[in-house]
Every structure is written in structure tokens, then in C-alpha cells.
Structure 1
Amino acid sequence: MSGRSYRGMSAEERLAERRERLLSAAYTLYSDPGFPDTTIERLCASARISNRAFYECFSGRDELMQAVYDRCVQETLQSVSKSIEQAPDTLIDRIRAGITGYVTFVTEDRRRARIMHLEVRRAGDCLITSRQRAVTAFTRMIESNITDLPDAVKANRHLLALSMIGALQELLIEWVVADEAPAIDHLISTATHVFYRSFVT
């Protein structure tokens, strides 16, 4: 690729700018109408680039979906980590802060919630690896914050963290697909109750 500048931008800067436009277009279109119904042509039209320019940025719809999903996950991890760091250093406070941080951040933009909890499944095999990396990252975060479990809790900490992730995912799917979405504070209070009761036996 030529390194000559065009309109004050280098070739690398133009490529990065097109990539960001595609990510922005995919963030909206992959959430509605959804990944299966979004064509490359539609993505290009929304991003205002040519099909040729698309393939200079991504190998196809699958790689673009991976990039969008991975960015959503990284942004969520950063937000949740910050929420936990700012919480009082007790088990229940860390649990409540982590849940509140996760649910609030994911649901403040419905596109993020749909991509992370619904379209990730509709995308199928192309996101298996990305989804497993995300589960691993969230599991490690949970495990590192439940080191002070009560002695009466005999559950394997890793399996307990996985079960917490599964419960949250189902609550968020319900919020995304329900005709009457449950209130955010109800999601938070329900998840907090379930998680904390798992620790207090």
C-alpha cells in the first residue's frame, strides 16, 4: 500500500479511519437488524466506503463481528473493574459494585447489550473463540474478588464464577428480548441476591 498522503491523511490513517467507520456501522447494524441479516453491501453503504475498501480492513463479516464484540467486551471489563476498585473492600460490596457496574454499562446502550448477549449466539461458530476469551476474562475477574468466601462455602470458586456469569447472561437476554423489559434496578437486585445467597449458606 502506498504511503502517500491524501487530503492530509497517510495511507495508514485512511485505513484506520475506514476501519473505524465500519466498526461504527457494524455496531448499529449487527444489533438491528442483527448479524445474520446484515450484508457486506449494507455495511459498506452505512460506512460510506466501497466493497474493495471493506476487504482492505476486514476479511469478511465474521472478522468484523469479532472486532465489534471484542471491543464491547474490553470496554465492559474496564468499566466493571473500575466499579469494583471504587467499592468498599467487603465481599457483598464488591459483588454489588461488580453487578451494578456490569448491568449499568451494558444496558446504557441497547446495541452493546444485544451484541454481547444475543447476536454473539446468532453469529455462531465465528465467535466461539472470542466468547470463550470473554468468559475467561470475566471469570478471572470474579475469582480474584471472591477470595474471602465464608468457610461454609464449599463450592469450587471457578465453577461458582462461571455460574454467576451464566445467570447474568440470562438476565440480560431477558432484558433484550422481553416485550416488557424488566427494570434495570430489578436486574441488579435479583443478580445481587442470587450471587450473595450462593456465598451465605
Structure 2
Amino acid sequence: MNAAYTLFAGVGFTTTTIERLCASARISNRAFYECFSGREDLMRAVYERCVDETMLAVSRAVGDAPPDPDSRIEAGIQEYITFVTRDVRRARIMHLEVRRAGEILSVHRQRAVAGFTDLIEDALTNLPASLPSHRHLLALGMVGAIQELLIEWVLAERQPPLEHLVETAVHIFRRSFGS
């Protein structure tokens, strides 16, 4: 798993062969296939671990925030961006390499997007009734916006400061949800 985490985030999923993984992990191909059915299965495991760890950190931050929706969303955005970028490998796997893995991991990626969308919706339970009824789509749009900000951060020659990412995401949230 550690070798895959580093290789998938470094040279990328498409360039990482089973042979390269096994050499880096110092295991035999046989040992690899005793644990995983293939490279895609390993990528799924690495990706899901990243998502689970991030979801736990964000859920904790939202739960510890004051109960008003604005504070909870700010805490969630801050923690998501901070946690994901704390290790650039995590950011690359969650926002680039899972897409590069293609259709094989699309179900797992959509499941993660749905989980983060649900987390945002849960944090918004006390919003005024005057907000549009399509809160789910607004929450989904927030997930997409944050993902694109992080893709920019990962790919940029000069990475924008994290506080700018957080400020931008919070601004988008406030404009979208009228808070």
C-alpha cells in the first residue's frame, strides 16, 4: 500500500506497473496477487483509504464547530483542504489519479463524492426555508468546486496559498447558499 501510495502519486497510475510496484515494495508478484486482484484493485484500496481518512477528519471538524451552518461549512472546508494538502500524494490520488484510472474507479469516486455531498447537506439542516429546494445540487456543486481548486493546486507550477483556496471555497459557499 505504501509503495502504491508513493508511485501512484508520483509517476502516476497509468505508468505504475505491477513489476514496478513489487520492486518498490520489495515483494514478489505472487505476494502481490495474494493481496490484490490487480493494479486497479490496489488503486481502489489506496483511494478508499485516502477518502476514509479525509471523511473522518472533516466529520470531526464539522462536529466540533459551532452549530450554525456557516461555521460548520467553514470548518469543513478548512479541514478538507488542509487535510488533503498536508500530503501532496493524498491530493494527487484523490483529485488526479483516481480520474486517470478511468472507468474502473468511477463507481468508487462517485461514492466518495456522494459521501462528501451528504456531509455538506447534513451541515446545512438549519438553513432558512427560503433557500432553493435543490440543496443537494448546491452541495454537489460545492464538492466539484473544491475538487477543481485542489486540482489547480496540485498541477500549478506555483501553488496558490492554501488560505486562498479556503477563502475562495468559503466565498463560493456563501454566494451559493446566501449566508
- Measured against the shorter chain, the TM-score band is over 0.9
Percent same amino acid at aligned positions? 62
* Per-residue Cα deviation, 1:41-64 (whole angstroms, up to 9, x for no partner): 110011110011111010110000
Residue 100 of structure 2 corresponds to 122
For residues 80-119 of structure 1, the aligned pairs below 5 Å read 80-119=58-97
Residue 146 of structure 2 corresponds to 168
Residue 184 of structure 1 corresponds to 162
Q: Separation in 1 of the partners of 2:141 and 2:126?
A: 18
Q: Which runs of 5+ in 2 are unaligned?
A: none
* Per-residue Cα deviation, 1:68-123 (whole angstroms, up to 9, x for no partner): 00000000000000001111111110111000010000000000000000001111
Q: Separation in 2 of the partners of 1:165 and 1:154?
A: 18
Q: Separation in 2 of the partners of 1:155 and 1:45?
A: 53
1:150/1:199 contact within 8 Å kept: no
Give, in angstroms, the shift of residue 151 of structure 1. Answer: 3.2
Q: Which runs of 5+ in 1 are unaligned?
A: 1-22
Q: Bigger relative contact order, structure 1 or 2, given CA contacts below 8 A and separation 6+?
A: 2
Residue 42 of structure 1 corresponds to 20
Number of residue pairs matched?
179
Q: Does 1:138 align with 2:116?
A: yes
> What's the TM-score, normalizing by structure 1?
0.87
Partner of 1:120: helix, strand, or coil?
helix
- Find runs of 4+ consecutive structure 1 residues off by over 3 angstroms: none
> What's the TM-score, normalizing by structure 2?
0.97
- Larger of the two Rg values belongs to structure: 1
